[in-house]
Structure 1
């Protein structure tokens, strides 16, 4: 998939490539650009992240938890391409980041991935 699906929502169930439940959508952000018009800002954003910031540092601080340890280049990739933050199931399971290339499809009320949980970047 080239972009975060437009019909995604917080709380949506997420399953891996084996159709095993791995968690729920905690938050998400769509790409900064409209695919057919790169000059157009078309970001779709989770209601949790609606507060606007007009500087990159402020935006990164709003989108990513300080203790994530997510490298700056991955944060910038997430802003460019969009991302989903997975609230992972399981007592000791780490939350993860899902990028457009990890997504296969939206099926009913499920986000279906083309990879397993272990192939996702830990939050």
Structure 2
């Protein structure tokens, strides 16, 4: 069994309040929350459960029930970790960045390796 070594890559430097810019240079929004990977997250676990012993119970807090995001997508984000971005614009809502979609973190900016329309919503 592999021991979980904690967060790797640029996600470890992301903090709430940072600006998020996509690969095309367009502002996506502002970091609202950062959740690191959960080595105990298991496929098929109900992310809506509020049981404290559930290793991905905190995911339920991060996603609204009416977001339209599939359970599979929520479970994937629980396993990988994610950055929740408060989207730019009045009606844009939240989007979610996977650690592998972060190209760099410098100053107060998170630069993505993908366009904003490729993010989970």
Instruction: Tell me, in whole angstroms, the C-alpha distance in 2 between the residues paired with 1:65 and 1:87.
Output: 13
Normalized per residue, which structure has more strand?
A: 1
- C-alpha offsets along residues 36-84 of structure 1, whole Å, 9 cap, x if unaligned? xxxxx7xxxxxxxxxx932257333223222212211111111110011
Instruction: Tell me, in whole angstroms, the C-alpha distance in 1 between the residues paired with 2:56 and 2:110.
Output: 30
Deviation at 1:101? 2.0
SS of the residue 1:121 aligns to: coil
Instruction: Tell me, in whole angstroms, the C-alpha distance in 2 between the residues paired with 1:15 and 1:73.
Output: 26
Q: Is 2:83 the counterpart of 1:77?
A: no
Instruction: Tell me, in whole angstroms, the C-alpha distance in 2 between the residues paired with 1:64 and 1:92.
Output: 16
Q: Normalising by structure 2, what TM-score?
A: 0.74
Q: Normalising by structure 1, what TM-score?
A: 0.73
Identify the residue that residue 112 of structure 1 maps to in structure 2: 111
Q: CA RMSD in A?
A: 2.2
Identify the residue that residue 17 of structure 1 maps to in structure 2: 23
Once superposed, which parts of structure 1, at least 4 consecutive aligned residues long, lie more than 6 Å away?
Answer: none
| Structure 2 unmatched runs, 5+ | 1-7, 41-50
Identify the residue that residue 59 of structure 1 maps to in structure 2: 58
| Structure 1 unmatched runs, 5+ | 34-40, 42-51
